[in-house]
Structure formats: structure tokens, C-alpha cells
């Protein structure tokens, strides 16, 4: 076998049409072997003799796509000093573009002996672990272009590759649950008709199911257990895992882009699947443990701000390089349009505290590729001071947990929430305005993958996670939910009607709020997880989206009819938002008249149900759960894309979160005639065609826990 010196960059395995360059970093290693694996179980070892700046490298002619490989690192095994090298462990390439196989959790994949945890384990892990794969990077992107949807026109849809597509009746069975399913016209048509502009995929970086779940017959369904930051998860490929997963993923992105839909990845750069000091040796731990992980005062143990056993070392230049290389790779080579960063506060921990000016954010800010895509933070982790909603740098948007909590509280009837609800409805200026950000920094959501589904939010007071095998101890205990009178399933028509109203209230509130709305997959159908609010390990019909039957034939049952009705309402609210820029302003309201408007009215005004302007006392009243909001479509101050003045219809939003019906007075001096366009008290929610007309001073009776929207044409 010929072995040429090769290059230090790029790291990983790079095929050029004639052979493959291999490069891997380790400062602690004495020597590193590249192991080329054969289908009969044998391997060919090639020592990487060339080394520059602790990067070992070689070019091997004739190594083609589909070749499986791994590394064996010879170096110190001294946990007391933070070193865990062990040449008996076949290590995954941190930069591998694809990975093959799975881990069977034999004792051999661990660096220590089960009977003597302080002793090195010299069992060969190769027969029991995953392998890295050389891929063909060439792909015909044709005329693919990123949609580049502005934030003010963005509607996010959080989805799981398998969960979204596994039960879709219109898909061939052989592609359900795969990347190929995302590219299927049936799935794309649903997203387009719903009004989605960005598909936010739960983790598709290669992840593993840890041994604890395997032993209990469960799986890591969500995927927040990454082992490969460059590799698409192999189980989501329909054609095999020798690089086909890369082809399928790219094909899906190309198809979604052609439909005008962006692809955003939920990424987990805060920890890896190697766990704590008792975890397996799969990749980074065996390559250079101390360079990649945050070690504790006693280097045998890990600093854990993620609740997963370890945290990546964000002050290490090699960790930062790996993360930035990964982000650029997914943008430039896989054509994704942005990232949602799981437990993003951990990325800001250079030392102990969360620092918004940490090296990671500096690198992102100056990067000409990564800084130009959508960057969304989950602004918390489990460490001290980890809750950082509103504190990320101006380039970033954030999952607004305060929005979620406030909207849930309002509709379940919590006292003294009206003032904060007003702030959340109008873009959370208290969180984002002081550092120059705008309402679009707020990613608004009521539900997401973590917690109750929308249906369960109005059907359960308590979590029901028994199926997870942890005695119902896992998952959030404080859900801000209301079962509307009965825990779980019921045939009580009154309770079912109330639950239907609350579902429509949540969707309507989300779409009427300033900021960027995010829908959790299946909520448009009102799907349930049976009260499980931590379904991370449930790869079954518990978590898969139940697509309703009878959409065309009319053969569906009552549940399907209700699901389709909910879908139609959600579509209508999304398109109401898209059609009216007053609901998606790029600047905050300022509460005063705007020059040049013919009505000389403020851009926003607040009223009591009696039609009187809200006072400080009204805002602070503990019993107040209702209000009216006037949005002036003539007072949108920002210019259009060509510099033109934007005008829109004006709206009155009437919220009644009381447990009793109330009469609302249509305010005077803010428009003579209005038309009802939304009423969540009726089963369809949105009136077909033209709703009834009302005039200033008229009284409208709003059912308990309902919402009405009135429109005055421009």
C-alpha cells in the first residue's frame, strides 16, 4: 500500500477522486494508527507518521468512498491526569462525514474493566463499535439556492425526521422515517399548505442510544446524544449507511429548498455521547480527553452543566475549531440554512460562569459563513446561572421560554399575568430592546419536543411518564397545564369543547404575537403523547405524528375529523399572519401616533373589555384576565423591501381568559365598522368568507376562554 505524506487540512477523511487524505488531531498521543476495515472483520493498520501542530496525516491513493476506518491512539492512560488513551479502542473520527453500524455495549467499548474500574481495559472494541466512512463529496445541487427567508416572514416547524413521516399513509413504507421521506411531495405539500417557511429538524448529527436505554428496551429517540458532528445519523437513511445517508440528506435539502422551505438543524455542541468517567471510549475521550472535555478539579471526573455526564471544553482552540468547522461544513456542503443550539448557555462557559462575550460567540460573529445563517439559541443549561433568556448577543435569536410560560399561564387563568402577557404579545421588548435587538429576536412557542404536546397541555395536570421506566420521576413537574376538568381522555362534550377552544386559543395567540412563531410537529393535528412530557426514549406511536385519515374520501372517524378541523384552523391562522404585516413587524411598537397616517392614531392601544383605555391599575389587577388590543395597520413605521411605505388593515384583538363569558365593547374613535375574522369559540375558529360586521360601541359576548379578532380594511 502506498502512503503519501498528505495534508493537515481539512481534518477528517477527504476523497479527491483518486484517493483519500486522512488528518486527525491529538496533542497527547505518542503515535496514531489509521485502521482500514474490511468486510471480513480484518483491518489494515497504517501509522500516521507525518505530524504538524499535533495533527497526524497521510494520503492513501486508491482509498475510495464507502471505505470504513477508525483510529487507534497509542499514548498515556492516566485518568488521574486526565489522559485516557487506549490503543485497544477503535476510535471514531471526530470529523467523519458518515458513520456505519451501531454500538452493542460490550465491555470492550469501555476504557476500564468492569471488575476493576481503576484498571485499563485491553479488550479490542473494533467488533463492537461503529466505524467511520469515507464519503464521495460530489453531488449535483443543480440550481439549488438558499431561500433566505427574512425573520419577519419566517414560520418555524420543529420536527423529528422519523416522527413526522413514520405514519404518513401517502408514503411508501420503505422510506418512512428517513431523509427520503422529507423529500417526498406529500410531506412537502403539507408544509407548504400549512405556511411553514423553515423546517427545524431535531438532531440529525450521528447519535447513539446509551447502554442504559438499550438494557431497558428503549431508545434515544430525540437524538441529543451526539457522537459525530459532521455525519448525518445513519438510521435515517433508507438505502444503507456507507455514505448513502449523506446523499439522501442532500437530496431532501434540495427538494425542500425548491419548495421555498429552509432547513435548520437542532445541534448539540455542548456534550458528546461518551458520558461521564464511567462512559465508553468512542472518539474524543481516546484521542485527547483533556483537550476536548471540561475536567473537574480532580481530572478523573468531568464538569457537567448539561446533565449528560460531560461538557465540551469551550476555551480549547481545538474544540472551537471542530465546532466551527462543523457549522461551516453543514452550511457550505450540506446547504442547511441555520442552527438551533441545544443548551446554548454551555457554549458560553469559557471558565465557570456564562459569558456572552466568550470565544465561541466571537468566532461566530466574525465568521463570514456561519454569521450569515439563522442562529437560534436555547438560552439555558443546567449549570449555575444557566437561564439566560434575553442575554445572548445581537446576532442571535432565542427560544423565548418567558413567552411560553406567560401564554400558558394566561389561558389557564393564572392571576396577575396581564401586564407580562402584553409584553410577550408585542415581542418582549423588556428582554430584547436594550441591546438593539428587535421583536424578531424572540422565537415564540407554546410547545416543543420537550414537554407536553398542545393537546396534552389542555388534557393533563400531571405528567404520565411511566413508560420511560424511571418511576415517573423524569420530566418537568411544573407544566403550567390545565386538564379542563378531567385528567386525560374523556367523552364529556363540555370538556372536549373547552379543550378545542384552548387549542385554538394557543395557536391563534402564537400567530398574532410579534416575533417568530414556532409550531411543534403534529400540534396542527392536535396529537397526544398520552401525557408523557419527556418522551425522549419513546420511538413508537407514542411520539410519531398520527396523520388523520379521510382527508379526501371522508372515511375518517370523529378523531380524524377533529384533527382535520384543527389543521384547517392552524393553516388559516398562519396565512392570516403571512397576509398581514401588522402581525410581524420588524420594530417594536412605541405607543404614539405615527406621522403621515390618516387616522392620527397610535400604532398600538390597549383597552379594557368595557372599551376604556387601560390604566396602571387595570394592568395590575389580580383578577384581570381580559383585554382588547388595537393594532394600527396604517402605522407600520418600517419601509418595505423597495423602500415603499407599508400599510395594512387594522385589527382589534379581544382576549377573554376568564372562566365565564364576558361582554366586550368595541372601542370608539378607532374605526367605525369592523368584521369578525376569528372566533375561537366556534369549532372552525375562522369564519368562512365574510364574518358578521360590528360597529364602534357595539357589545360582543365572548365565551369563556375564547379569543375574537376584528379587522378594519386599510
pLDDT for 354 equals 61
Do 125 and 73 touch, CB atoms closer than 8 A?
Answer: no
Residue of 42, 206, 219 lying closest to 127 (CA atoms): 42
pLDDT for 405 equals 97
Can you tell me whether residue 454 is helix, strand or coil? Answer: helix
User: What are the angstrom distances between the C-alpha of 631 and each of 419, 513, 578, 595, 601?
Assistant: 17, 11, 16, 16, 10
Quick one: angle between helices 558-579 and 185-194, nearest 10?
60
Residue of 160, 200, 196 lying closest to 178 (CA atoms): 160
Quick one: angle between helices 359-366 and 317-332, nearest 10?
30
Do 256 and 196 touch, CB atoms closer than 8 A?
Answer: no
pLDDT for 381 equals 79
Do 167 and 240 touch, CB atoms closer than 8 A?
Answer: no
Q: What is the DSSP letter of 434?
A: G
pLDDT for 556 equals 63
Do 676 and 692 touch, CB atoms closer than 8 A?
Answer: yes
Residue 10: cis peptide before it, omega within 30 degrees of 0: yes
Distance between CA atoms of residues 428 and 411, nearest Å: 18
Distance between CA atoms of residues 196 and 153, nearest Å: 10
Distance between CA atoms of residues 601 and 353, nearest Å: 47
Residue of 133, 138, 26, 162 lying closest to 87 (CA atoms): 26
Do 391 and 356 touch, CB atoms closer than 8 A?
Answer: yes
Do 97 and 82 touch, CB atoms closer than 8 A?
Answer: no
Residues labelled catalytic: 342, 378
Q: Pick out the chain residues at pLDDT < 70.
A: 350-357, 550-556, 594-599, 688-690
pLDDT for 140 equals 97
Distance between CA atoms of residues 449 and 388, nearest Å: 20
pLDDT for 552 equals 46
* Element at 285 (helix H, strand E): helix 284-292
Amino acid at each position: 500500500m502506498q502512503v503519501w505524506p498528505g495534508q493537515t487540512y481539512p481534518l477528517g477523511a477527504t476523497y479527491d477522486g483518486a484517493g483519500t487524505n486522512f488528518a486527525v488531531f491529538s496533542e497527547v498521543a505518542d503515535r496514531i494508527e489509521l485502521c482500514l476495515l474490511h468486510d471480513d472483520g480484518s483491518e489494515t493498520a497504517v501509522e500516521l507518521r507525518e505530524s504538524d501542530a499535533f495533527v497526524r496525516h497521510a494520503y492513501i491513493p486508491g482509498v475510495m468512498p464507502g471505505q470504513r476506518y477508525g483510529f487507534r491512539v497509542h499514548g498515556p492512560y492516566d485518568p488521574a491526569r486526565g489522559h485516557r488513551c487506549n490503543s485497544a479502542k477503535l476510535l471514531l473520527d471526530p470529523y467523519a462525514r458518515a458513520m456505519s453500524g451501531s454500538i452493542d455495549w460490550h465491555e470492550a467499548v469501555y476504557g476500564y474493566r468492569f471488575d476493576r474500574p481503576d484498571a485499563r481495559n485491553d479488550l479490542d472494541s473494533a467488533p463492537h463499535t461503529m466505524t467511520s466512512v469515507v464519503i464521495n463529496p460530489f453531488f449535483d445541487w443543480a440550481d439549488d439556492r438558499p431561500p433566505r427567508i427574512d425573520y419577519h416572514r419566517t414560520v418555524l416547524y420543529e420536527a423529528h425526521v422519523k416522527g413526522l413521516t413514520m405514519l404518513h399513509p401517502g408514503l411508501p413504507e420503505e422510506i418512512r422515517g428517513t431523509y427520503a421521506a422529507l423529500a417526498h411531495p406529500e410531506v412537502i405539500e403539507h408544509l407548504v399548505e400549512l405556511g411553514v417557511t423553515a423546517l427545524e429538524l431535531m438532531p440529525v448529527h450521528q447519535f447513539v442510544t446509551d447502554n442504559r436505554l438499550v438494557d431497558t428496551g428503549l431508545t434515544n429517540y430525540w437524538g441529543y446524544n451526539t457522537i459525530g458532528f459532521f455525519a448525518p445519523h445513519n438510521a435515517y437513511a433508507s438505502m444503507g449507511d456507507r455514505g448513502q445517508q449523506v446523499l439522501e440528506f442532500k437530496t431532501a435539502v434540495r427538494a425542500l429548498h425548491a419548495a421555498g422551505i429552509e432547513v435548520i438543524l437542532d445541534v448539540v455542541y455542548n456534550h458528546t455521547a461518551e458520558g461521564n468517567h464511567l462512559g465508553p471510549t468512542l472518539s474524543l475521550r481516546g484521542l485527547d480527553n483533556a483537550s476536548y472535555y471540561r475536567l473537574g478539579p480532580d481530572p478523573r471526573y468531568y464538569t457537567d452543566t448539561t446533565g449528560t455526564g460531560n461538557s465540551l471544553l469551550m476555551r480549547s482552540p481545538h474544540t472551537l475549531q471542530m465546532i466551527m468547522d462543523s457549522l461551516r461544513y453543514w452550511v457550505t456542503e450540506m446547504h442547511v440554512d441555520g442552527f438551533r443550539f441545544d443548551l446554548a448557555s454551555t457554549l458560553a462557559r469559557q471558565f465557570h460562569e456564562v459569558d456572552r462575550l466568550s470565544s465561541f460567540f466571537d468566532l461566530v460573529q466574525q465568521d463570514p459563513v456561519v454569521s450569515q445563517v439563522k442562529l437560534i439559541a436555547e438560552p439555558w443549561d443546567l449549570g449555575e446561572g444557566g437561564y439566560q433568556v434575553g442575554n445572548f448577543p445581537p446576532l442571535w435569536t432565542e427560544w423565548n421560554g418567558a413567552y411560553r410560560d406567560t401564554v400558558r399561564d394566561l389561558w389557564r387563568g393564572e392571576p396577575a399575568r396581564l401586564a407580562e402577557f402584553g409584553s410577550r404579545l408585542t415581542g418582549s421588548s423588556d428582554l430584547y430592546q436594550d441591546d438593539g435587538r428587535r421583536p424578531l429576536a424572540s422565537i415564540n412557542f407554546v410547545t416543543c419536543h420537550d414537554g407536553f404536546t398542545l393537546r396534552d397541555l389542555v388534557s393533563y395536570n400531571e405528567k404520565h411518564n411511566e413508560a420511560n421506566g424511571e418511576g415517573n420521576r423524569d420530566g418537568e413537574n411544573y407544566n403550567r397545564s390545565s386538564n379542563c376538568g378531567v385528567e386525560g381522555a374523556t367523552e364529556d362534550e363540555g370538556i372536549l369543547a373547552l379543550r378545542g377552544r384552548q387549542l385554538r386559543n394557543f395557536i391563534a395567540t402564537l400567530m398574532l404575537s410579534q416575533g417568530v412563531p414556532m409550531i411543534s410537529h403534529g400540534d396542527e393535528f392536535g396529537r397526544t403523547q398520552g401525557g408523557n412530557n419527556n418522551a425522549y426514549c419513546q420511538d413508537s406511536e407514542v411520539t410519531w405524528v398520527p396523520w388523520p385519515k379521510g382527508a379526501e374520501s371522508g372515511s375518517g372517524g370523529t378523531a380524524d375529523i377533529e384533527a382535520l378541523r384543527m389543521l384547517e384552523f392552524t393553516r388559516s391562522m398562519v396565512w392570516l399572519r403571512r397576509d398581514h404585516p401588522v402581525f410581524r413587524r420588524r420594530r417594536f411598537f412605541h405607543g404614539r401616533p405615527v406621522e403621515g397616517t390618516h387616522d392620527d392614531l397610535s400604532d398600538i392601544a390597549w383597552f379594557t373589555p368595557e372599551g376604556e383605555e387601560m390604566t396602571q391599575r387595570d394592568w395590575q389587577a389580580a383578577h384581570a384576565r381580559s383585554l382588547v388590543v388595537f393594532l394600527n395597520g396604517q402605522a407600520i413605521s418600517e419601509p418595505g423591501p423597495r423602500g415603499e411605505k407599508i400599510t395594512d388593515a387594522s385589527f382589534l384583538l379581544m382576549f377573554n381568559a376568564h372562566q365565564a363569558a364576558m361582554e366586550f365593547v368595541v372601542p370608539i374613535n378607532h374605526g367605525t365598522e369592523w368584521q369578525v375574522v376569528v372566533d375561537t369559540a366556534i369549532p372552525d375558529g375562522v369564519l368562512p368568507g365574510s364574518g358578521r360586521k360590528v360597529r364602534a360601541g357595539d357589545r360582543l359576548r365572548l365565551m369563556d376562554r375564547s379569543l375574537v379578532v376584528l379587522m378594519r380594511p386599510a
